[in-house]
Amino acid sequence: MLNFRKIFNLPGFLKDIRRKDHSPRYGGLDILKYIGPGLLVTVGFTDPGNWAANIASGSEYGYTLLWVVTLSTIMLIILQHNVAHLGIATGLCLSEAATVHLPLTVSKSILSFAVFASVATSLAEILGGAIALNMLFDIPIKIGAILVTIFVIIMLLTNSYQKIEKWIIGFVSVIGLSFLYELFLVDIDWPEAMISWVKPSIPEGSMLLLMSVLGAVIMPHNLFLHSEVIQSRQWNLKDDVIIKKQLKYEFYDTLLSMVIGWGINSAMILLAAATFFKSNIKVHELQQAESLLDPLLGSSASLVFAIALLLAGVASTITSGMAGGSIVSGMYKEPFDIKDNHSRIGVLISLIGALILIFFIKDPFKGLIWSQVFLSIQLPFTVAIQVYLTSSVKVMGKYANTRYMQFLLWTITSLVTYFNIRLLLSLLGI
C-alpha cells in the first residue's frame, strides 16, 4: 500500500520511510535533502484567504498592519518548527499524537474542531481559485468552485499529486515573482513600510482585519500538515545523530520557507497600500482589486494578479485537503494514506464540506475574510495540544521542550487568545 509520506520522497535520498534502520548519506549539499516540507506549508499561508485579508487591510489602513505579518510570521516559525520537532522525534503527526496521548474526549473534541477549521481553510482556497477563473474566463463563481474541487479531488484520490509535487512547490516561486513584478510598478513609501513592519498599531475598527491577517498566516491545518509531511525525511528514529541532523536542517527549511511567505504576504499589503489606499479606494472583493489594477498599473498587472491567484487557489486547496485527511486518519491512530478510507473521508469532508458552504455564501470576499477569522478562533486549541504534547517527556523523551521553549510557546498561545478576545468584544460592540 502506498503511504502518503512516500509522496514527498526525494528520489535517491529515501526509499522507505517506514524503515527505521536506514541512514542517509551526507554531503556538501545536505540541506537540499530536507528542503520541501516547509515550502508546502508556505503554499498554505499564501492562499486566497491571505490575499483577501492582506489586500483589504492594505487598502483600508495602508502600511499600518504590516507589523501583524511580521509578528505572526515570527510566531509561525516557532510553531512550525516545534510541530515538525514532534513528527521527527516521535514518528507521529499532531493528530495521531493527540489521539494516542490525550484523553479520548479531549482529543476527539479538539480534532473535530480542527476538521471544521480544515473545511474553513478549503472554503477560502476553493473560493480563491473560483474567483481567479472568473477573472480569467468569466466563469461563474459557483461553477468555478465545482471545477476547482473536482480537479483537486482527482489529483488527491488518484495519487496524481505525486507527479506534480514539484509544481506545487514551484507555485510559491511563481506567486512570489508575480508580486515582485507588481511591486516594481508602484511607488512604495519604504521608510513608512519599514516602521510599520516593526511598530504595533491597532487603528480603530481594524480588529476584524487584524485577526483575519493573523489567521491567514498562522493556520491550524498547516500545523497538522507539517507534522505529517516532515516524516518524508524520516530515517532512523533510534539514532540520535540522525534525529539531531534532521532537526537542524528542518529548522533551516522552515526558516527559509516562512521568510519567503512573510515576503509574499507583505508584498500584498504593500501593493494594496501603494495603489488602493493611496487612491482612497477600499477593496471589498478580489475581482475589484484585479479590475482596479488595470487602469492603475496596466493590463499586464491585472493578468499576472489573476494567474497568481489561480495558482495559489489550486495549490493551497490540495494542501488543505491533505491536512483534512491527516487530521481524520490521525483520529484513528493512522498516518495519512490516500488509499485508506479514513484518509479519503477526511479529504472529502474538507473539500466537499467547503464546496457546500460556498453555495450559501452571498459575498465571496466576506466569506474569505470570515474563514480566516474562524481559523484564528480555532488556532489556540490546536496550539495548546501541540505545546502540551511537545512539552511532555512521556511523549517526546529527551526531545521534550525546554522550559524556555515552553514559556515562548505558551506566550504565543496567550497572544493569540488575547487577540481572539479583542475580536469577540469588537464584534459585540463592547
pLDDT band at 276 (very low <50, low <70, confident <90, very high): confident
**Best mean pLDDT range from 192-196, 225-229, 337-341:** 192-196
Cα angle 143, 125, 213; round to 5: 135
pLDDT band at 9 (very low <50, low <70, confident <90, very high): very low
- Rounded to the nearest integer, the mean pLDDT of the chain is 79
Cell numbers standing for residue 380:
489556540
The SS3 call for residue 284 is coil
The predicted-structure confidence for 33-72, as pLDDT tens digits, reads as follows 555 566 777 776 677 777 778 888 888 999 999 999 998 8
Domain 35-427: give its CATH code. 1.20.1740.10
Residue where the block lists cell 455564501: 361
Rounded CA-CA distance 384/374 in Å is 17
Strands (E), 131-199: none
Looking at residue 182, its pLDDT comes to 77
102/49: higher pLDDT: 102
16/375: higher pLDDT: 375
Looking at residue 426, its pLDDT comes to 63
Q: Report whether pLDDT(208) > 80.
A: no
Q: Which residues contact 70 (CB under 8 A, 6 or more apart)?
A: 197, 198, 262, 266
Rounded CA-CA distance 102/90 in Å is 15
285/410: higher pLDDT: 410
CB-CB contact of 406 with 387 (8 Å): yes
The SS3 call for residue 116 is helix
Q: Which residues contact 163 (CB under 8 A, 6 or more apart)?
A: none
Cell numbers standing for residue 269:
499589503
114/36: higher pLDDT: 114
